[in-house]
Chains A and B, each alone.
Chain A
Amino acid sequence: MREDKSNPTQNPERRRFLEVLLGTGIVASLVSFFYPVIRYLIPPPSTDLGSNTVLAATVGELGINAGKIFRFGDHPALLVRMADGNYSAFSAVCTHLGCTVEYRPDLREIWCPCHNGKYDLHGRNISGPPPRPLTEFQVNVQGKDIYVSRTAAT
């Protein structure tokens, strides 16, 4: 190797300073490259939150002791007409692993086919793996239309 007067190895302080400068620059660059990429990977929150009320069915569509899956925003929901003729509605997303539940007229329970989870007609998890009750929705019958809305209270 040739001798070089400007060689930073002969000046430890200057060498250290240059190393810190270079290192900081590289780190700052990498942060500025990867920050946008990481932000990009997470999609913006869905704008399709849906309204808080949806027309679930019409009167007469469901017989006694029957259920119907309908779309509520981005998720399925379940409308049940109970033996006494009253309606109740729940989120149809099983709290265990997210399968869509169904109403079982023979059991008079809400049943998840994936892992045999069961909920009673108040949405409470009564058997099988589900850890939490189903979210219950409010049902309003207006004329011939049955509306389901999100309720703040559970």
Chain B
Amino acid sequence: MSPAGQVRDWLDERFGWDDLVAFIRHKTVPLHRYSYWYYLGGITLFLFTLQVVTGILLLLYYRPTPSDAFGSVQYIMTQVHFGWLIRSIHSWGANLMIFTAFAHMFSVAFFKAYRKPRELTWLSGIILLFLVLGFGFSGYLLPWNTLAFFATTVGTNLIGQVPLAGPWLLTFLRGGADVTGATLGRFFAFHVALLPGLATAFLLTHLLLVQRFGISVPPSLEPAWQAKPPAEREIRFFPNFMLRELMAWYLALGALGTLAALRPWGLGTKADPFASAPAGIRPEWYFMFMFETLKLIPARVGFMTGEALGVLVFGLAAVAWTLLPFLDRGGTGRKRRWAAGAVVFALGYVVGMTLYGYLVMAK
């Protein structure tokens, strides 16, 4: 017997290797005209692993103190071999990952894949989205540049507007009353220890649930899809789907490499907590829709400040969005349509306000 065969037998005796292989061989993915949306979750997963790898590489040189942080990132960008590439891929990859996570979530929402029995898959996915936004928010501060410093001041201030828990949250996030070196230390700990741990746990849960319930077919396509013979309506996960997914990953990596090479991520100027804020302070694009909304609300509405009202409304909207599978239980006619309307409204609002922020307000 060949050495490879012996290793296989050894593993089979202990772990039931052959059962595992048979299981992977039997797994299938539905094939229909919207199948390409299924690649988005996998691309997000790939970008996440890429973030882990480039993040570990950045950790080799990064120093999380107010005096050293900016200089260490500058050192990475200018002195370390290919440091500019690693950091640019980390920054661009973060943005691309948040984009694909949003796209994945909206595709799931449109295809109603969150419905029974996949409520918990949706729930774990929403938690992952919040974690990813937490990664973005905490990572943004780490280079300790002026823009990040003031964006974090504004962002944490807004979190401080949360009714009741606000002041406590503010102190917890900042590690004090103001954004200081203590904040940088905390954000660093969140970014490289707390969030990765949580994200890994929820990612495994998410994948396990996807595995358990299989991949959903959009209800609108389901009757026609069911009518087809199995050979035409699904492809094998391994190797057929996996190879296509790998091609998608390869394309994503190519896009990232191109962006990083042609548009290396900027660094700005070192933050000075005692200088006045520069004009045009704004958050990363994925917080833009909330930022613009808050600016449109009047300073005082009834007994609340405008910010508190905005934060409260967004909080309630996030809760409703999280509970979507429990609010939309299927059914027919009008009942079925309100959920689709809500998803269209949510997407329209997020895209619309983001564009408004960049095209109208930026001028």
Contacts and interface: CB of A to CB of B under 8 A. Distances in A.
Contacts of A47: 79
Interface stretch (B10-18, B80-88, B150-158): B80-88
A143 interface: no
Interface in B65-107: 79-83, 85-86
Contacts of B79: 44, 47
A5 interface: no
Interface string A7-49: 0000000000000000000000100010011011111100100
A19 B35 CA distance: 28
A85 to B, nearest CB: 44
A125 B273 CA distance: 54
Contacts of B80: 40, 43-44
Contacts of B60: 40-41
B57 interface: yes
Interface in B39-78: 57, 60-61
A99 B82 CA distance: 34
A36 B57 CA distance: 11
A9 to B, nearest CB: 15
B61 A37 contact: no
Contacts, number: 28
B82 A43 contact: no
A36 B61 contact: no
Q: Which of under 10, 10 to 19, 20 to 34, or 35 or more describes the interface residues of A? A: 10 to 19
Contacts of B86: 36-37, 40
A36 to B, nearest CB: 4
Interface residues of B, number: 12
A39 B79 CA distance: 12
Contacts of A33: 253
A44 B60 CA distance: 13
| Interface residues of chain A: helix, strand, loop or mixed (majority) | helix
A39 B76 CA distance: 12
A44 B84 CA distance: 13
Nearest to B61: A43
Contact of A36 (B85, B250, B253): B85
Contacts of B57: 37, 40-41
A22 to B, nearest CB: 11
B251 to A, nearest CB: 12
A123 B253 CA distance: 56
Interface in B300-340: none
A24 to B, nearest CB: 15
A40 B80 CA distance: 6
A41 B79 CA distance: 12
Contacts of A41: 57, 60
B134 to A, nearest CB: 27
**Residue in A33, A37, A40 with the greatest tally of chain B CB atoms within 10 Å:** A40
Interface in A39-90: 39-44, 47
Contacts of B83: 40
A43 B250 CA distance: 28
B82 A39 contact: yes
A36 B260 CA distance: 13
**Residue in B81, B86, B253 with the greatest tally of chain A CB atoms within 10 Å:** B81
A62 B60 CA distance: 41
Contacts of B61: 43
Nearest to A39: B81
B65 to A, nearest CB: 19
A44 B82 CA distance: 11
A42 B61 CA distance: 11
Interface of A: 29, 33, 36-37, 39-44, 47
Given A39-B82, A40-B80, 16 more contacts: A29-B250, A33-B253, A36-B81, A36-B85, A36-B86, A40-B57, A40-B60, A40-B81, A40-B82, A40-B83, A40-B86, A41-B57, A41-B60, A42-B81, A44-B79, A44-B80
The 6 closest A-B pairs by CB, nearest first: A36-B82, A39-B81, A40-B82, A44-B79, A39-B82, A36-B85
20 contacts: A29-B250, A36-B82, A36-B85, A36-B86, A37-B82, A37-B86, A39-B81, A39-B82, A40-B57, A40-B60, A40-B82, A40-B83, A41-B57, A41-B60, A42-B81, A43-B61, A43-B80, A44-B79, A44-B80, A44-B81
